[in-house]
Amino acid sequence: MGFTPNYLEPGTVLAGYQIESMIARGGMGVVYRAFDVQLNRPVALKLLAPEFAANDKFRQRFVRESRLAASVDHPNILPIYGAGESSGLLYIAMRYVRGTDVRAELEARGALPLAEVIRILGDTASALDAAHAAGLVHRDVKPGNILLSEDRADVHRHVYLTDFGLTKRTTSATGVTTAGHFLGTLDYVAPEQIRGEYVDGRADVYALACVAYTLLTGHPPFDHDDDSAQLWAHMTEEPPFLCAERPEVPSEIGLIIQAGMAKRREDRPTSCGALIGMMTPPSLANPPPVDSPGVAAGSAPEDANDDAVSPLRATPVQHGRPPGGSWHAAMALLKGKAWIPMALVAALFLIFGASLVLPQMSATNERVLFRSEGIPYTLEIPKSWTHHIRDRGESTVSVLSAADITALFADEPEAMAATARIVDLEPASVVGLAIYHRSPRVSNVLPAARIDAVEALLPGQAAKLTDRGPLTFGEVKARRMDGILPLSSTVTLQVRVCALETDPSQLLVFFAPSRLFEENVRVFDEVANSLRQPK
């Protein structure tokens, strides 16, 4: 006999738990207050919708991750008492928390005071780092999954992080079920998780930074009604600067939250504790226990990354207090001659630079051999240029650069504005080469027609090229054209186009934000001269 989780009468016994009352209906099922008949204690019993039990992969992952979560013993991880399947339903029994959750808190009170946010998220970070060290990635860090206990009214409300591994990634990364129902929020999901890639603890760092932004402003960082606009924003839109809305919050905190929301996980702080630690000014590192001003009383492809859980090397974080040392390190450069531009640049370098700038500087010198199906030659390219490929109707385009901007060269709507935002955010990631696999042969036509044909192939309507005549490109005859490709009223890519006399004929478009073009021309020439056709 099967139960429907929505309609369990009080008194019903399921897997040894007697239902008392419904607490709330969530995205994946229903949470009841129940009673453990054998152990004689209250529990919260979450029953997942039957469609989840019907999905083998989900069921296996649910059981595996519930066990793993139960094995991580941490004061801020909600204790799990039992999990499994009964009467056709997946259930999870956990400690019953009398209190509220952070989403309800936000809805009731609006943006929260900084000290309170740091305290709640410091405890949450501590729970997440412990989970990462045990090989578990949460994947669904959000205010609704942070519970606040009111069991002990005399002290800070205790923080419990819940719902490990309970993402709705049953058929895709976006939480859309087979029935097409959307089952959760997309407000906090990391770009790599959206793409269905390998996910590690840095996806939780991203989500935690988005949660910090939300708690401090009252709304999520990327606030679009439309799901696809929301996903696109996570992948391409510059993370907003908190202090534009909360000018009284120190700008370092705004910068650190932005760093937590970096598109590339290697540009984020390395652990959740590091993120919140860097947000914690010394004055807040050891807040008085109660009633300090502003402190509230009390306190992808389907399952592509199922097994790709790799723990971060967790920064040890003391329970209950984010480490203040990181703040000192990050801010040391700002002290003394505080706020002079040099120091600001140095601090920015410390926060973003070590992971972002250095690899790119060295990567310009380090080359790897690039070869790909459909491209009848090899090239030696900078190591930082990764290969992204996309069908574009009749032809195909390969883009070699740090940022994935295939949508631009596939001439998709929105892609110009999105690329312009990436140029603002990370200009060096928009330096590279686009290869149009099959392009019109331009050798035997008049120069004007040649230019027209190539301009029409480039994104948008406004590309402007000048013919620079014939040249030998590596081992191959080619025509070269130089020009510009406007992305917005203020952002322009400069391009160097080479139409190759290969078979099939191919078009190579070197591109860089205009102000970075000159310093990359040498790299482009070297890549061009490295062209070899297999004998």
Ligand X SMILES: Nc1ncnc2c1ncn2[C@@H]1O[C@H](COP(=O)(O)OP(=O)(O)OP(=O)(O)O)[C@@H](O)[C@H]1O
Position 360, amino acid: Q
Q: Applying CB under 5 A, does 66 fall inside the site for Mg ion?
A: no
Q: Which of 55, 162, 271, 384 binds ligand X (CB under 6 A)?
A: 162
In the complex, what is the shortest distance from the CB of residue 265 to ligand X, in angstroms, rounded to a whole number? 23
In the complex, what is the shortest distance from the CB of residue 375 to ligand X, in angstroms, rounded to a whole number? 44
> Hey, which residues between 117 and 156 contact Mg ion (CB under 5 A)?
145
The binder of 24, among Mg ion, ligand X, none, by C-beta within 5 to 8 A per type, is ligand X
In the complex, what is the shortest distance from the CB of residue 32 to ligand X, in angstroms, rounded to a whole number? 9
Residue 159: partners with Cβ closer than 8 Å, 6 or more residues away: 76, 120, 123, 124, 127, 146, 147, 148, 149, 299
Q: Which of 6, 10, 13, 24 binds ligand X (CB under 6 A)?
A: 24
Q: Applying CB under 5 A, does 163 fall inside the site for Mg ion?
A: yes
Q: Applying CB under 6 A, does 22 fall inside the site for ligand X?
A: no
* Only segment of 23-31, 237-245, 371-379, 462-470 that touches ligand X (CB under 6 A): 23-31
The binder of 27, among ligand X, Mg ion, none, by C-beta within 5 to 8 A per type, is ligand X
Q: Report the distance separating Cα 120 and Cα 105, nearest Å.
A: 12
Q: Which of 135, 194, 180, 163 is nearest to 78 (CA)?
A: 163
Spot the catalytic one: 140, 200, 303, 467.
140
Q: Applying CB under 5 A, does 167 fall inside the site for Mg ion?
A: no
Would the CA dihedral through 517, 518, 523, 525 be positive or negative?
positive
Active site residue 467: no
Q: Applying CB under 6 A, does 65 fall inside the site for ligand X?
A: no
Residue 371: other Cβ atoms inside 10 A: 12
Chain centroid to CA 357:
19
In degrees and rounded to multiples of 5, residue 325 shows phi and psi of: -60, -35
Q: Which of 27, 163, 31, 179 is nearest to 96 (CA)?
A: 31
Q: Applying CB under 6 A, does 92 fall inside the site for ligand X?
A: no
| CB-CB contact of 471 with 445 (8 Å) | no
Position 236, amino acid: T
Give the C-alpha distances (Å, rounded to integers) separating 387 from 52, 307, 373, 527: 36, 24, 12, 15
In DSSP terms, which residues pair with 410 in a beta bridge?
Answer: none
Q: Report the distance separating Cα 95 and Cα 256, nearest Å.
A: 34
Residue 445: other Cβ atoms inside 10 A: 13
In the complex, what is the shortest distance from the CB of residue 220 to ligand X, in angstroms, rounded to a whole number? 15
* Only segment of 70-78, 160-168, 386-394, 479-487 that touches Mg ion (CB under 5 A): 160-168
Q: Which of 34, 93, 97, 430 binds ligand X (CB under 6 A)?
A: 97
Q: Applying CB under 5 A, does 267 fall inside the site for Mg ion?
A: no
Catalytically active residues are 140
Q: For binding to ligand X (CB under 6 A), which residues are involved?
A: 23-24, 26-28, 31, 44, 46, 78, 94-97, 101, 144-145, 147, 162-163, 184
